[in-house]
Amino acid sequence: MPQDIVPAHVKCPKFLDSFNEKRRVLFLLFFRYRQLCFFLLPGMKVTVRWTIQPSYFGCGNPAPQCSGAKMGTVMKRSGIADLPLHGGRVPPWLAERMTLLGTAITETILSHYGQSEFFSRLSDPFWFQALGSVMGMDWHSSGITTSVLGALKRGLNPRAHDLGIYVCGGRGKHSRKTPQELWSVAEPIGLDGESLARTSRLTAKIDNNAIVDGFQLYLHTFLVSSAGEWVVVQQGMNAQTGLARRYHWHSAAVRDFTKNPHSAIIGEHQGTITNLVDQQAKPAQDALLVIARQSPDRTLHELRNLQLPTHHDVRAHNVDLKRLGSVLAVAYERELRDFASLLLVENLGPRTLQTLALIAEVIHGAPSRFSDPARFSFALGGKDGHPFPVPLQTYDESISVLRRGLQSAKVGQTEKIEGFRRLDQFVRTVEQTYRPSADFERTLAREHAILPSLGGRTVYADRQRARASTQTKQLSLFG
């Protein structure tokens, strides 16, 4: 492969050193990609066979299936993970963009897969962490929960009538308003507000009281659809350990509140805890029945295992370098980039294409793709500067591309919005065919080198500006 068109931060196998060999592989890659049974180019359509199967996240929605291929049922697994407690606030320049991007991502998922699939994704801790990372939040901190849910509430509620998604509750005092918000939402759309409010109180009670694990709830968000499905994401903190634990619930995974209530719990393993909803806590349950005249729930569902480290920076071992390498190859290898831009029906630069490829994976990826949520921070960086500052120019351009696709889809022109599914499939095909691997240190160096031209920004720069402004004003008093 000629060195002048190979990005320095992507390592490709030696068998691609020959230019003719590279051309041959690209040719084969194109025909392999045609077998994915999706739209290839505007005006070129192939038949997509739909079958009712469990979707990627187990919601049972219709999902596209290629002839002869089978989509397996994905089961949630048990586990726990760390969420270091971080203070501070999301700056307005990031909060506004997170609202726009989170809304656009949600709309695209709803357009392709429906409300149930969106809720099922929200109930998956890996996907939730990847969503926050791709939106430019700190990739591993407790603040990702508050900021993502706040962005969704700001972005989705004004359009709830059209999208059929309502976000209630929030952090602190807002969490206590959840029952009232649910009642006001339920009545106009014909749902049982009292039942929803009871569900809200019960999930909070189980995680705050029935599981005595040292975490005190401070955030409770309840999302409900016009069809009556719901998802609860709530978070507790342990001030002594400086850790947070996030709990996920999903109505599709709950037959009743006495069997398998949770979708997932994230938080550091604290040793043996008093879990009054565990099957082995029957004697304690009987005692609680006598005392409180109320039966706690019995069992935790299998938990998805997400463990986040306490170090603030993103390190090579936090990222699947082969997956990141395929994204970088598509973005920076000239011929792959040209083909990817053609799939999106957009003329894009490599940095924006890198971001959009990771966003496309959040929208269309299967659960196995989110085992390394830190990788998605290479879309738009992080507000704290890890793995690099947020490139505002790239952020705005990526939002614009998504919005143009959604607007075109409303008038029946689906080529742009379908392009994200094509892009996700293409990146995975490149991953399987080229087997590229990212050079982690050189990738970071390159990002930092181009950031000044892309409006890279962090909260630390904001604080420095604020201090400089304060000092200037103080000096002016004596001028």
222 and 348 co-located in one domain: no
Q: What is the model's pLDDT at position 239?
A: 84
The sign of the torsion formed by the CA atoms of 264, 136, 353, 119 equals: positive
282 and 326 co-located in one domain: no
- Answer for the pair 116, 252: CB distance below 8 angstroms, yes or no: yes
Residue 132 has pLDDT above 80, yes or no: yes
More confident residue, 246 or 401: 401
Decide if 17 is inside a domain: no
322 and 288 co-located in one domain: no
Please report how many Cα atoms fall inside a 13 Å half-sphere around the Cα of residue 208, on the Cβ side: 14
212 and 133 co-located in one domain: yes
Q: Picking from 52-61, 208-217, 339-348, which range would have the lowest pLDDT averaged per residue?
A: 52-61
Q: What is the model's pLDDT at position 242?
A: 86
Q: How many Cβ atoms are within 10 Å of 432's Cβ, its own excluded?
A: 12
Enclosing H/E stretch for 219? strand 216-225
Q: Tokens at residue 211, please?
A: 């599981």
Q: What is the model's pLDDT at position 46?
A: 33
Q: What is the pTM of this model?
A: 0.79
127 and 254 co-located in one domain: yes
Q: What is the model's pLDDT at position 309?
A: 73
Decide if 70 is inside a domain: no
Q: Picking from 139-148, 217-226, 467-476, which range would have the lowest pLDDT averaged per residue?
A: 467-476
- Over range 106-119, report the average pLDDT: 94
337 and 272 co-located in one domain: no
pLDDT tens column, 307-317: 677 788 899 99
Q: State the SS3 of 297-319.
A: CCCCCCCCCCCCCCCCCCCHHHC
Residue 68 has pLDDT above 70, yes or no: no
Q: What angle in degrees, to the nearest 10, is found between the helix axes of 350-364 and 392-410?
A: 60
Domain that holds residue 378: 316-463
Q: Tokens at residue 198, please?
A: 């009871």
Decide if 364 is inside a domain: yes
At residue 440, what are phi and psi to the nearest 5 degrees?
Answer: -60, -50
> Cis (ω within 30 of 0) for the bond into 13?
no
Enclosing H/E stretch for 49? strand 49-52
Distances from the Cα of 442 to the Cαs of 427, 436, 437, 445, in angstroms? 21, 14, 12, 5
275 and 325 co-located in one domain: no
- Answer for the pair 181, 169: CB distance below 8 angstroms, yes or no: yes
Decide if 54 is inside a domain: no
C-alpha closest to that of 124 among 373, 360, 304: 304
Total domain count, the chain:
2
Q: What is the model's pLDDT at position 106?
A: 98
280 and 324 co-located in one domain: no
More confident residue, 57 or 221: 221
- Over range 364-384, report the average pLDDT: 93
Residue 423 has pLDDT above 70, yes or no: yes
285 and 348 co-located in one domain: no
DSSP 230: E
Decide if 41 is inside a domain: no
- Answer for the pair 399, 350: CB distance below 8 angstroms, yes or no: no
Decide if 308 is inside a domain: no
Q: How many Cβ atoms are within 10 Å of 261's Cβ, its own excluded?
A: 24
pLDDT tens column, 2-56: 343 445 566 655 444 455 555 555 555 554 544 443 333 333 333 322 222 333 3
- Over range 175-194, report the average pLDDT: 95
pLDDT tens column, 211-269: 667 888 999 999 999 999 999 998 988 888 888 888 888 886 544 333 456 677 766 65
Decide if 223 is inside a domain: yes
Q: For the chain, give the mean pLDDT.
A: 77
Q: How many Cβ atoms are within 10 Å of 422's Cβ, its own excluded?
A: 23
Please report how many Cα atoms fall inside a 13 Å half-sphere around the Cα of residue 461, on the Cβ side: 13
- Answer for the pair 136, 362: CB distance below 8 angstroms, yes or no: no
Q: How many Cβ atoms are within 10 Å of 313's Cβ, its own excluded?
A: 14
User: Where does a domain end: 292, 327, 346?
Assistant: 292
Decide if 10 is inside a domain: no
- Over range 285-289, report the average pLDDT: 45
Residue 64 has pLDDT above 50, yes or no: no
